[in-house]
Amino acid sequence: MKKLENLFIGLILVFFIWYNPTPFQVLELKTFDWLMSTQEPVQDQMIVLVDIDEKIVEAYRGYPLPRSLYSTLMERTPAIPGITVLMPDPDLRDPRNDFILQNTLIDVPSVLAYAASTQASEGGPHVGTAQIGEDPLPWLLTYPGILRQTPVLAEYAQGVGLINSAPEVDGVVRRVPVVVAAQDKLYPSFALEMLRVAVGDPSYQIKTTNTGIEGIRIPSYPTIKTDANARVWITSNVKFYRQSAAEYLREPIEGAAFAIFGVTAEGIVNPVPTAAGSVYPHEVQANVLHHLLNGTSPIQPSWSQIAELGVALLIILLLIFTASNVYISAPVFLTSIGGLMYGSWYAFQSSYLLDVSGIIIISFLFWTIITFRNFIQQYFMRMEIKKQFGTYVSPDLVKKLQKDPSLLRLGGETKRLTFLFSDIRGFTPISEKYQSNPQGLTELINRFLDNQTEIILKHGGTIDKYMGDCIMAFWNAPLDVEDQERKATECVLEMREALGELNERLREEGLDEINTGAGINSGLCVVGNFGSSNRFDYSVLGDSVNLAARLESSCKTYDTDLVISEYSLVEGYDYKFLDEVTVKGKSEPVKIYTIQK
């Protein structure tokens, strides 16, 4: 039973890996950040960044710069140029500059930037796409529209790509979409277009399975592995050669295959937050292009979550079967954690991102919970008798049993006791009203039993048992009680008064009132432990006990809430004679009384 409880707790914790709440996602991303920070720095030899900085903006007396400048930069570059500057409107300085740049775009294979928009628009330029397998649209990041470049430029650029990034749940950009969707069309990223233009292919291919995007391929280039949403990871270890625009105009860096132009002048473009700090949009695209060229972007396999669930469940099972001994479970736990960390690091060396942070968290929580539970159970083991018997007998009996455990044996003694049976009258109609709300009925009965039980124990009575809505109690056992009949009478009258107070609260809450019937009788019985050697109860047996039960059930016959036998009468109370009856199983008549309210 205990193992089943632990398994249930473990399954609840494993559910969090499947559900992957925001804290788990952030922890996963931070883990990946740390893994990537362990990579050796890499100097990219293929890409140069050209910064349009404050000096060039100041030289041209403000921003935006004339389009003729971009034309000059493109003509000066020995590499494939890409411009991440958005130019949706005609040149404000001189519209003729647009035609100068247009002519350069015709002569120089290059890529212009587009941006996905949160506003619906006419859409962007079409780039040929071959779809293999399932429909990719459900898996792609989708935008309402595309913010176009001015048509006089867009129509002549050999490549047009999006420069949008996709922040994670913590607002940091770590993965960049290589393809996105807008208005049921597919649009490539700026980096993908740079590669396509460089190899001279007119289109690209996208392969989709039932688990998401599997890869993107330019026919003349190897397949680009992405995640299920066509994103690739950027890393912080890639370094790029860079020049200011002014330097590039004088003497561009030789040997690079790609030149990406982007604005770094303060106040014009917002930097992009990444795990390595804030960078500019053209740096992000350069990072993506680097990984597309070299195939070095880490991959989070589509099966990784299933693997995480399986490993988490395996560790939970190991901890369950070793939970009884902390000297075994602790090494198992520590070995599991160490193995997970090494496995994650080893997989990363092969460019696979496997998240183990969630598994470590739930394993720690589970091990802590079961270890604490075992500690508590061991700590209270010596109090087991008190915890077991204290729920249904008086505290005095518990103390007696603790002092003399030999009392926990089968058998009993003959002794004169006073018995009380109390039962709810009209319980069936009440329970019928709670057919659709059994918990409500349970709460009501518990309130009643708590209300009445406290008074019985207060007057020195012993609770024998609860029988549904019925309470059975007795006086003068296991410890002697002086004037037991009087104490039982005082008790039942206080129970009547307390019930009235409870009914007042129930009326205020709009609930049904509770009416009871009680029977009191005194006589000889056998009291002691009854049952088997493995399980027994401290209880009473005898005709006098049965008579008390029958007196309680006769309350409805005499339209009263209390019936007392002649054997339990004491001085000082105004008794009202009810009848002289011969109860079932008895040959001699018994006089019965009540005490009116």
Q: State residue 302's pLDDT score.
A: 82
For 392-595, CATH number? 3.30.70.1230
Could you tell me the two tokens for 62?
């403000």
As a whole number of angstroms, the distance between CA 352 and CA 354 comes to 6
Give Dmax over CA atoms of the chain in angstroms.
127
3 state SS of 467 = strand
Write the DSSP symbol of residue 229: T
Q: At residue 187, what are phi and psi to the nearest 5 degrees?
A: -130, 130
CA 306 to chain centre: 17
**CA distances in angstroms from 246 to 65, 104, 265, 338, listed in the order given:** 13, 19, 13, 53
**In this structure, what DSSP letter does residue 189 have?**
B
Digit-coded pLDDT (tens) for 497-541: 999 999 999 999 988 899 999 999 999 999 887 777 666 677 899
The pLDDT assigned to 392 comes to 52
**Which residues in the chain come in under a pLDDT of 50?**
410
Q: At what angle do helices 304-321 and 326-349 cross, to 10 degrees?
A: 160
**pLDDT score for 92:** 86
3-state SS record for 394-406: CHHHHHHHHHCHH
Q: What is the reported pLDDT for 391?
A: 54
Within 463-511, residue ranges assigned H as helices are: 484-508
Give the domain ranges of the chain. Answer: 2-19+303-379, 45-294, 392-595
Question: In whole angstroms, what is the distance from residue 589 CA to residue 586 CA?
Answer: 8
Of the candidates 158, 161, 137, the residue with the CA atom closest to the CA atom of residue 148: 161
- Give the chain's mean pLDDT: 88
Q: Quickly count: other Cβ atoms within 10 Å of residue 395's Cβ.
A: 12
Contact 131, 185 (CB under 8 A): no
